[in-house]
Amino acid sequence: MAGEISSRRNTILLAGTAFSATALSTTGDLIFNVFGGTTAKVVSVGATVVTGGIVAYQAVKARREESVRTAVSDRTRRHQLPRVEPLVGRGSLLDVLLTLLRDVPAPSRASLPVDATESQARIVVVHGAAGVGKTTLALTAAHRVKGAYPDGQLYVNLQGDGDTPRTSSEALEHLLFSLDVARDDLPADVDGRSALLRSLTNDQRLLIVLDNAHRTEQVRPLLPVGAGCSVLVTSRKPLSGVTLRRAVPVSLPDESEALDVLAHYAGRDRITSDPAAALQITRFCGKLPLALRIVGSKLAQRPDLSLSRMQARLEDEKLRLRELVFEDHSLNACLTLTYRDLEGATRAAFGLIASLPAGRFTDWHFEYVGTTRGSAFATCDELIEVSLMETQGGEEASTSYRVHDLIRVFAAEQYEQLPPEERRRHEARLVQAYRDAAVGLAAQRAPELGADVSAERICDLGREPAAGWVSAEQERLHWAIGRARSLGMNAEAAEIGEALSYFLDDINLPTGSADWVFDAPPSETRPRVLASLRRARASAAVAEGVPDTALTLLLRNEPDDSTDPVGRARDEMVVARAYAVKKDFREALDHMTTAADRLRAADDAWHVLNSLEKLGEFQRWRGVPELAEQSQREALRLAERAEDLRAQARLRRTLAETLGYLRRPQEAAPLLESAVHDFRVLNDRRWEGASLYALGKIYRLLGRRQDARERYDRAEEIFGPMGERHWVGRVTNARIRVLAGMGRLDEAAATARTALSIFEQVGDEIWQAHTQRDIGWLHLKAGQSEAALEPLTHAIEVTGRAGDAYAGSMARHLRGVAYRELGRYPEAHADFEAALDIYRSGSYEWNEAAVTHDVVRALRAEGRMAEADSLDETSAATNPIYVRMRGRDGAEAVPDED
C-alpha cells in the first residue's frame, strides 16, 4: 500500500497537475466534487489510467519484496472480529441481521458516488439500552456472515460507552492501518482519511463493525460507499442521521429468553432446581441481559448461594444495583457513562420523575419538572435517543413513556446527589402541578372547587377521563401530599386530599391510610376543606367495614343544613352507606333517599349520580326492584352525559343485577358483558371480577350453567391473588346452585360448607345467612326436610334484622316448602304468605308465581282441592309466568330458575 501511495505522488509530479497527494488518493471523491458532468467523467478516466499504471508497477514490486509479510498482514489486519460470548435466545433478531448482511453483491468498481446518499453500501444500526446485548448480537451475526466478505472483517470499538469516545480521525487511522496504509501515507485531516477509506474499499467485499458508537457525527466519516461493503453499527442511539441506514432495535428478551440467559451463566441445573425463584430473579433484573449475566456469574462462582438467597438479596429495590456487580461488569458503571452525557436539566428532571412511585410517564410529568414546555420535549427526546426511556402508545396526545426498573432506580439514586435546595425547587414545582391537576379534575365533580384553579393548568392532561388519570396517579398523589407537608406546603397537601375525596370509588386506598391521606394540618381553617377531609375519612371507614367510626365522624359537630346544604347531603350519602354496612337497610334507604332529593335540589349532578346508584341497590334489597331500575337508569344517563366510562361500567353492572331480580336476564347479559370489557380496558381488576361474578349469575338464570361456571372461575382468579376473601366467598356461594342444577349435589354441599367457612372467617353475617339458606335448600333436594329447618330459620332471622326483605322472602319460601313436606301445613302457609306479601309489594311476578305453585301443592296435600283449584285458575289468569311453571315443585327446583 505504501508503494501505491508513492506511485500516486509520482503521477502528480510527472503530470504537473495542481492536485495534492491527498487529493489524488481520493480520485473519485474529489474529481466529482470539483468537476461536473462529462468533464468529471473524462478527468476521472484519465486519472484512473495514469494512476493505475504506476500502481500496477509498484504492486508487482511490492509483491516480490514482501509477499510473506502481506500474507500475514491479511490474516492479522483484515480479520479482526473479536471472540464473542455465546448468544442466548434472540433468534428472530439474529435472523434479521443475517438477512441484511448476507448475499453481498459484487463490487461495481465504478467511480465513487458524488453524494453519500447514493452509497451502495449496506449500513445496519443495532440500537438499544445499555446492557441489552447489542454487541453480542452484532458480533454473532458478523461471525456468521464473514464468509460473504472475503476481503476482510474490520472491527473498531468506538468507545461511545466510555470516558472518552474515540474520534472519527482515530477510528479512521485504525481502519486505514488495517487496509495496509502506512503511517506516512495517512492524510492529516478527517475528510482526507474518509475519502481514502472510500477509495480503497470501493471494489472490495468488506464488513466493518463499528461497536459502541457515540453519535452520528462520529460514525458518518467511517462509512464506505461500495456495493460490496457492509457496516454493522451498535449504539445506544438509533443514529437517525446516518444516511440509508437500516435500524434494528434491540428490546428486552421475553421471559423464556431471560430464563435462558440466567441458566447459561448460572447453570441449567441451578435454574430447574428452583424455577419460581429463578423467575423472580429475572423479574428483579428486569430481564436485562447484562444484569442476568452478572447474577448468573455470581451464582456460578458461589455454589453455596441458593437461588432463594439471591432472590432475597435482590428484593430491596434500593439495594439492587449494589448486587449487580461482578468482576469488571457493573450495571451502575454502564449506566453512569450514558447518564453523565445528558444535559444538566435532563438529569434533574429524569431523576425527580424516577424518584416518584413507579408507573407510566407522560409529557405532563416532564413539563412540570422542567421550566418550560419546550424543555420538557427536549428532555423526552434526549432520554429516548440514548435508550434510557422508551415510548408507549402512538402519536396521539396520550403517548406515554416507560422506564426500565433498574434505570429508574439508578436515576433516582443520582437525583439524591443533587444539592438539597435544587431538589426542593423541582419538587415544589411538581407538587404544585399535582395540586392544580387534582383540584381541576375534582371540580368536574364538585363545581365549587373550580374557582381554586385555572383551566390552563390542567389543559395538558389530554383527553383521558378524570377518574382514569387520578386512578393511574394515585400513588404519586400520595407522594405529592407527603412531599408538600415536608416542604411546608400544608395548604396544597390539604387541597390534594380534598380533591382525592371525590374519587374514592376510583382508587384503592390501603387499609388504615385514610387518616394520613385526609389529615388536616392545624393551620387549615377552611370549612369546605375540613368537611371534605372528614367526609373522606368517614367513607374510608365504611369501605374498611367500621361504619360506627364513619357515623361518629359525620354526626359530631354536625353542620347546619342551611349553611352548607350540599355538604350535608353528601354526608347523608356516606351515612346511608354506613347503615348498609351495619345491615340496617331500612335506615340506609331513608338516608340515601334524603340525600338524593337534596342533591337534586342543589343540581349537584355527580353526587346525584352516585346517590341514585346506591339508592337503587337499597330499593332492590327492600323489595321494590322496579324503583331500583328507575334510579339506576337515571344514574346511568347522568354517567353517559358526564362521559365517565368507569361510572357507566359500574352502573351497567348494578342495573344488570336489578334486571336479574326482575327476571329479565336477556336484558342484563349484554350490560354485564359490556361492563366486563370496560373494566378490563380500565385495568380495574376488582370491578372486572365483580362484573364476572354478576354475569355468571345471569348466565345461570339463562340456563347456561357451563358459561356461568367459567365466569365464576375467572372471577376467583382475580379475587384470590388480591386477598379479597369476601368476594372469593361470594363466588364460592354462587357455584352452589350451578352444581346442584347439574345434579351434583355432593359437590354442591361441599362447596356450601367452604363458602360458609369463608364468611365465618371474615365475619360477614348476612352472607352466612345467604349460604345457610342454600344449605337448607340442598337438604330439601336431598329429601331431608327436617334438617332444612334450622339453617333456613337462621337465614330468616338474620335477614329480618338487616331489613333485607328479598333475601328473607326467599328463605321463608323454602322453609314453607320444608314445613309442607313435613305435613306442618299451618306453619307452611304462614311462611308462604309472608313471602308473598313482599313479592306482591314489588315487581316480583316470577317469585310470586313460584310461591303460589307451592301453596297450591300444600292445599292439595291437605285435601283442600276446591281452594287449590280456585287459586290455580286465578293465578293462571293473572300471571302468565305462573302458566309456564306448570309442574314446578319448590322441593326440587333451583330457587330462582325456571
Q: What is the DSSP string of 170-194?
A: HHHHHHHHHTT--GGG--SSHHHHH
Tell me the backbone φ, ψ of residue 207, rounded to 5 degrees: -110, 125
Distance CA 776, CA 755 (A): 14
How far from chain centre, in Å, is Cα 67?
64
Would you give the DSSP letter of residue 79?
A: B
Distance CA 79, CA 77 (A): 6
Contact assessment for residue 415 and residue 348, using Cβ atoms and an 8 Å cutoff = yes
Please give the pLDDT value at position 675: 96
Contact assessment for residue 144 and residue 98, using Cβ atoms and an 8 Å cutoff = yes
Instruction: Render the burial of 679-690: b for 16+ CB within 10 Å, e for the rest.
Output: beebebbebbbb
Count Cβ atoms within 10 A of the Cβ of residue 419 and give its class: 0-12 exposed, 13-18 middle, 19 or more buried.
exposed
Contact assessment for residue 561 and residue 587, using Cβ atoms and an 8 Å cutoff = no
Please give the pLDDT value at position 171: 93
The three state secondary structure string of 228-260 is CEEEEEEECCCCCCCCCEEEEECCCCCHHHHHH
Distance CA 341, CA 355 (A): 20
Q: Cell 340456563 belongs to which residue?
A: 703
Contact assessment for residue 554 and residue 534, using Cβ atoms and an 8 Å cutoff = yes
- Strand order of the β-sheet with 229-235 is 153-157, 206-213, 229-235, 122-127, 245-249
Residue 50, all three cell numbers: 495514469
Tell me the backbone φ, ψ of residue 245, rounded to 5 degrees: -85, 155
Distance CA 860, CA 882 (A): 17
Report the sign of the C-alpha dihedral through residues 569, 571, 573, 575, in that order: negative
- Those residues of the chain that have pLDDT short of 50 are 1-57, 59-65, 67-73, 75, 395-397, 559
Neighbouring CB atoms inside 10 A of 56's CB total 12
Neighbouring CB atoms inside 10 A of 169's CB total 16
Of the candidates 334, 327, 329, 324, the residue with the CA atom closest to the CA atom of residue 284: 324
Please give the pLDDT value at position 71: 45
Return contacts of 172-178, CB within 8 angstroms, 24+ apart: 172/197, 172/221, 172/222, 175/208, 175/222, 176/200, 177/77, 178/77, 178/78, 178/80, 178/152, 178/154
Would you give the DSSP letter of residue 89?
A: S
- Global confidence as pTM: 0.70
Distance CA 662, CA 655 (A): 11
Of the candidates 246, 720, 533, the residue with the CA atom closest to the CA atom of residue 233: 246
Q: Cell 461497536 belongs to which residue?
A: 211
Amino acid found at 48 = T
Distance CA 612, CA 595 (A): 9
